[in-house]
Amino acid sequence: MDSRHQRIVFLGPPACGKGTQVSMLAARSGLPTVVTGEMLRRSAAAGTPTGLAAKEYMDRGDLVPDSVLNRLVSETLEDPAYAGGFILDGYPRTVDQAKFLTGYLQERQTPLTDVVAIEVPHDMLVRRQAGRLICKSCGRVYNRHYLPPPSEGRCACGGELYQRADDSEEVIRTRLEVYRTNTAPLLAYFRRQGVLREVDGSGVPQRVQESILAVLDRGGGPA
């Protein structure tokens, strides 16, 4: 894949493997990543005016409003490190944010080239998350279905395994419904822009990565 001047956004529901795919693609393509959580922490630590404004909301436990987040993303992307392309993970999350990003990039004549949406059936996402077991001693994460611990209820280190309260099936289903409701308009927006690339995320990570590389190669050209 020719990664020059690719400006990519990644979208996907919780536990779809998005973080892994972004890391794999970044390593392979050399494209720098902008992960929203990291960007917020870094700008707050650096003490930029926008970073400090964002920190005020986060310290109160509030969502950072679009106006602040948009400014933060545009300030970040002005760094020459991103001039040759980038991968965005965790932004945009709303149509308003997507409109801002699209306008901002078009103004700079560096439009978004691809929006990779990782699709995984809900039942599989529920199984992935509801099966999670975490070690009380070392924090290692197992999965009842995909990565079972060496012995029932015990980590390799001997620690006791537990399930997080928000990993219950009901909580996960609600989380997925909320995601789907919020994201549907965003997908429709990018589909209209002609940049949406839907990828089946139900396979093993290597297989999913191959699908992503294939759609990125096709991106912009005839489908």
Known catalytic residues are 18, 93, 132, 164, 175
Quick check: 123 and 215 in contact, CB under 8 A?
no
- What's the min distance (Å) between Cβ of 19 and Zn ion? 22
Nearer to Zn ion, 123 or 160 (CB): 160
Nearer to Zn ion, 88 or 135 (CB): 135
Contact residues for Zn ion (CB under 5 A)? 135, 137-138, 140, 155, 157, 159
Strands 85-89 and 141-143: unpaired
- What's the min distance (Å) between Cβ of 141 and Zn ion? 10
Nearer to Zn ion, 35 or 133 (CB): 133
Provide the residue type at 46 as one letter: A
Provide the residue type at 127 as one letter: R
- What's the min distance (Å) between Cβ of 27 and Zn ion? 27
- What's the min distance (Å) between Cβ of 171 and Zn ion? 24
Quick check: 18 and 90 in contact, CB under 8 A?
no
Q: Measured in Å, how far apart are the chain's first and last C-alpha atoms? A: 16
Nearer to Zn ion, 11 or 133 (CB): 133
